[in-house]
Structure 1
Amino acid sequence: MNYVTAEDLTKSYGLKVLFKNISFNVNEGDKIAIVAKNGSGKSTLLKILMGKEIADSGTVVINKDIQVVLFDQEIEFDSALTVEEFMMTLDSAPIVAVKNYHHALHTEKPDDMEKALAEMELHKAWDLENEMKQILSQLKITDLEAKMGTLSGGQIKRVALAKLLTETRAEHRHILLIMDEPTNHLDVEMVEWLENYLSKAKITLLLVTHDRYFLDAVCDLIWEMEDQNLYVHNGSYATYLENKMIREDNLNATIDKANNLYRKELEWMRRQPKARTTKSKSRIDDFYETEKVAKTDTRKEKLELDFEMKRLGNKILELHDISKSYGDNVLLKDFSYQFQRGEKVGIVGKNGAGKSTLLNIIQGLEPYDSGSIETGETIKFGYFSQKGLKYKEEERVIDFIREISENFPLANGRTISASQFLRLFLFDDQTQYSPISKLSGGEKRRLHLMYVLYQNPNFLIFDEPTNDLDLPTLTVLENFLQQFQGSLIIVSHDRYFIDRVVDHVLAFEGEGKIRNFVGNFTEYREMKSQENRKALEQPVALAKTAEIAQAVPKSTSAQRKLSYKEQRELETIDKELPLLEEKRAEIMQQLTTETDYAIISKLSDELESLSAKLGELELRWLELQEI
Structure 2
Amino acid sequence: MAPPLLHLKEIGIRFGSEPLLKGAELQVGEGERICLVGRNGSGKSTLLKIAAGMIEPDSGEHFLQPGRTLRYLPQEPDLSGYKTVLEYAEAGLAPGDDHYRAQYLLNVLGLEGNEDPAKLSGGEAKRAAIARALAPEPDILLLDEPTNHLDLPVIEWLEAELKQMKSAIVLISHDRRFLENLSRVTVWIDRGVSRRNEQGFAEFEAWRDKVFEEEEKEQARLSEKIRQEEHWMIYGVTARRKRNMRRVRELADLRQQKKEHRGPQGTVKMTVSEAETSGKLVSEAKGIGKSYGGRPIVKGFSTRIARGDRVGFVGPNGAGKTTLLKMLTGELTPDDGTMRLGASLEMVTLDQKREKLDPNDTLASVLTGGRGDMVILGDQSKHVMSYMKDFLFTPEQGRTPVKVLSGGERGRLLLARALATPSNLLVLDEPTNDLDLETLDLLQELIADYSGTVLLVSHDRDFLDRICTSVITMEGDGLWREYAGGYSDMVAQRGAGVDAKREAKALKAKARQENAEAAEPAKPAKKSGLSFTQQHRLKALPDEIAALEQKIAKAQKLLEDPSLFSANPDRFHKTTQQVGKLHELLDALEEEWLELEGLAEGA
Following the alignment from structure 1 to structure 2, what is the Cα–Cα distance between the partners of residues 75 and 20? 28
The residue type paired with residue 125 of structure 2 is I
Question: Against the structure 1 CA distance between its residues 484 and 422, is the aligned structure 2 distance closer, same or farther, given a 3 Å change threshold?
Answer: farther
Deviation at 1:135, TM superposition (A): 2.6
Residue 145 (structure 2) aligns with:
181
C-alpha contact (below 8 Å) 2:14/2:58 kept by paired residues: yes
Following the alignment from structure 1 to structure 2, what is the Cα–Cα distance between the partners of residues 41 and 432? 23
Deviation at 1:43, TM superposition (A): 1.6
Larger Rg: 1
Deviation at 1:346, TM superposition (A): 0.4
Alpha-carbon displacement from aligned partner over 1:526-550 (angstroms, at most 9, x marks no partner): 01139989xx9984337899xxxxx
Q: Give the 3-state SS of the residue equivalent to 1:316 in structure 2.
A: strand
Pairing 1:497–2:483 present:
no
Following the alignment from structure 2 to structure 1, what is the Cα–Cα distance between the partners of residues 589 and 395? 57
Pairing of 1:519-530 with structure 2 (within 5 A): 519-529=485-495
Unaligned 5+ segments in structure 1 are 96-124, 169-173, 546-587, 595-599, 612-627
Deviation at 1:180, TM superposition (A): 1.2
C-alpha contact (below 8 Å) 1:269/1:284 kept by paired residues: no
Following the alignment from structure 1 to structure 2, what is the Cα–Cα distance between the partners of residues 308 and 237? 35
Pairing of 1:505-520 with structure 2 (within 5 A): 505-520=471-486
TM-score (norm 1): 0.73
Of residues 192-201 and 82-91 in structure 1, the stretch that sits farther from structure 2 once superposed is 82-91
Question: Against the structure 1 CA distance between its residues 189 and 497, is the aligned structure 2 distance closer, same or farther, given a 3 Å change threshold?
Answer: same
C-alpha contact (below 8 Å) 2:39/2:436 kept by paired residues: yes
Residue 460 (structure 1) aligns with:
426
Following the alignment from structure 2 to structure 1, what is the Cα–Cα distance between the partners of residues 299 and 28? 52
Following the alignment from structure 1 to structure 2, what is the Cα–Cα distance between the partners of residues 431 and 370? 49
Q: Give the 3-state SS of the residue equivalent to 1:457 in structure 2.
A: coil
Alignment counterpart, residue 479 of structure 1, candidates 440, 445, 450: 445
Residue 350 (structure 1) aligns with:
316
Q: Give the 3-state SS of the residue equivalent to 1:37 in structure 2.
A: coil
C-alpha contact (below 8 Å) 1:136/1:162 kept by paired residues: yes
C-alpha contact (below 8 Å) 2:33/2:168 kept by paired residues: yes
Following the alignment from structure 2 to structure 1, what is the Cα–Cα distance between the partners of residues 192 and 155? 31
Using the aligned pairs only, state the percent identity. 28
Following the alignment from structure 1 to structure 2, what is the Cα–Cα distance between the partners of residues 306 and 352? 31
Residue 156 (structure 2) aligns with:
192
Following the alignment from structure 1 to structure 2, what is the Cα–Cα distance between the partners of residues 440 and 544? 54
Residue 278 (structure 1) aligns with:
245
Alpha-carbon displacement from aligned partner over 1:178-223 (angstroms, at most 9, x marks no partner): 1111111222111111101101110011111111111122221111
C-alpha contact (below 8 Å) 1:303/1:479 kept by paired residues: no
Deviation at 1:72, TM superposition (A): 1.5
Pairing 1:334–2:300 present:
yes
Pairing 1:50–2:52 present:
yes
Alignment counterpart, residue 247 of structure 1, candidates 205, 211, 215: 211
Alignment counterpart, residue 381 of structure 1, candidates 344, 347, 351: 347
C-alpha contact (below 8 Å) 1:39/1:439 kept by paired residues: no
Alignment counterpart, residue 199 of structure 2, candidates 235, 248, 264: 235
Question: Against the structure 1 CA distance between its residues 284 and 530, is the aligned structure 2 distance closer, same or farther, given a 3 Å change threshold?
Answer: closer
The residue type paired with residue 187 of structure 2 is W
The residue type paired with residue 448 of structure 1 is L
Deviation at 1:362, TM superposition (A): 4.2
Residue 154 (structure 1) aligns with:
123
Pairing of 1:25-424 with structure 2 (within 5 A): 25-77=27-79, 81-90=83-92, 92-94=94-96, 125=98, 128-129=99-100, 131-141=101-111, 143-168=112-137, 175-268=139-232, 276-289=243-256, 291-292=258-259, 297-298=263-264, 301=267, 303=269, 305=271, 308-363=274-329, 365-389=331-355, 391=357, 396-403=362-369, 406-409=374-377, 417-424=383-390
C-alpha contact (below 8 Å) 2:301/2:481 kept by paired residues: no
Residue 100 (structure 1) aligns with:
none
Following the alignment from structure 1 to structure 2, what is the Cα–Cα distance between the partners of residues 339 and 415? 32
The residue type paired with residue 406 of structure 1 is M
Question: Against the structure 1 CA distance between its residues 500 and 530, is the aligned structure 2 distance closer, same or farther, given a 3 Å change threshold?
Answer: closer
Aligned pairs, number: 522
Deviation at 1:305, TM superposition (A): 4.9
Deviation at 1:274, TM superposition (A): 12
Following the alignment from structure 2 to structure 1, what is the Cα–Cα distance between the partners of residues 103 and 93? 18
Following the alignment from structure 1 to structure 2, what is the Cα–Cα distance between the partners of residues 134 and 31? 25
Deviation at 1:397, TM superposition (A): 3.5
Following the alignment from structure 1 to structure 2, what is the Cα–Cα distance between the partners of residues 481 and 467? 16
Of residues 443-452 and 192-201 in structure 1, the stretch that sits farther from structure 2 once superposed is 443-452
Residue 521 (structure 2) aligns with:
none
The residue type paired with residue 43 of structure 1 is S
Alpha-carbon displacement from aligned partner over 1:97-147 (angstroms, at most 9, x marks no partner): xxxxxxxxxxxxxxxxxxxxxxxxxxxx4xx42x44433333233x44444
Following the alignment from structure 2 to structure 1, what is the Cα–Cα distance between the partners of residues 354 and 388? 18
Residue 518 (structure 2) aligns with:
none
TM-score (norm 2): 0.76
C-alpha contact (below 8 Å) 2:152/2:497 kept by paired residues: no
Following the alignment from structure 1 to structure 2, what is the Cα–Cα distance between the partners of residues 225 and 360? 40
The residue type paired with residue 164 of structure 2 is K
C-alpha contact (below 8 Å) 2:153/2:316 kept by paired residues: yes
C-alpha contact (below 8 Å) 2:35/2:201 kept by paired residues: no
The residue type paired with residue 343 of structure 1 is D
Alpha-carbon displacement from aligned partner over 1:29-52 (angstroms, at most 9, x marks no partner): 122111111111112112222232
Unaligned 5+ segments in structure 2 are 500-537, 549-579, 598-603
Residue 543 (structure 2) aligns with:
540
Following the alignment from structure 1 to structure 2, what is the Cα–Cα distance between the partners of residues 300 and 589? 45
Residue 559 (structure 1) aligns with:
none
Question: Against the structure 1 CA distance between its residues 287 and 532, is the aligned structure 2 distance closer, same or farther, given a 3 Å change threshold?
Answer: closer
Deviation at 1:521, TM superposition (A): 0.7
Following the alignment from structure 1 to structure 2, what is the Cα–Cα distance between the partners of residues 424 and 531? 38
The residue type paired with residue 191 of structure 1 is I
